């Protein structure tokens, strides 16, 4: 399963760079979470209170593989406007355990 988190860019915005509206997202353990950030240059990523576990960066996206509860937290994108001015925006990811299968007794 995949969980895609996109920052919403206003369609009528003349300057969409850095204009992020981060969403809070909930994912199940084992899923792939994708965070996307619009920046004039390749964005840099960090995580508050911890390191980013099994991941890769592709273009403007951070991909978190086989997430666990340890991957929960606030992820920060650092980017630049075309003018060279810096910005940072964040999104919160919450990862929960998969429900255990319940079997009916016959």
- Lookup: tokens for 63: 């991909």
Residue 42 domain flag: yes
Residue 104 domain flag: no
Residue 8 domain flag: yes
Return d(Cα 41, Cα 87) in angstroms, integer: 11
In tens digits, the chain (106 residues) has pLDDT values of 544 444 433 333 434 666 443 456 789 999 999 998 888 888 999 999 889 989 999 888 899 999 999 999 999 999 998 999 999 989 999 999 877 766 666 6
Return d(Cα 22, Cα 7) in angstroms, integer: 5
Number of domains in the chain: 1
- Lookup: tokens for 90: 């964040």
Domain limits for position 50: 2-96
- Lookup: tokens for 36: 């996307």
Return d(Cα 84, Cα 63) in angstroms, integer: 25
Residue 55 domain flag: yes
Return d(Cα 67, Cα 8) in angstroms, integer: 23
Task: Please give the model's pTM, rounded to 2 decimal places.
Answer: 0.74
Instruction: Specify the CATH number for the domain of residue 67.
Output: 2.60.40.10
Residue 103 domain flag: no
Residue 23 domain flag: yes
């Amino acid at each position: 399963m995949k969980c895609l988190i996109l920052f919403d860019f206003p369609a009528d915005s003349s300057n969409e760079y850095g204009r992020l509206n981060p969403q809070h997202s909930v994912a199940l353990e084992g899923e792939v979470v994708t965070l996307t950030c619009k920046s004039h240059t390749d964005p840099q990523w960090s995580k508050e209170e911890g390191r980013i576990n099994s991941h890769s960066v592709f273009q403007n996206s951070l991909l978190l593989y086989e997430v666990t509860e340890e991957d929960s937290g606030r992820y920060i994108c650092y980017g630049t406007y075309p003018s060279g001015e810096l910005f940072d925006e964040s999104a919160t990811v919450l990862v929960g355990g998969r429900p255990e299968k319940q079997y009916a007794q016959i």
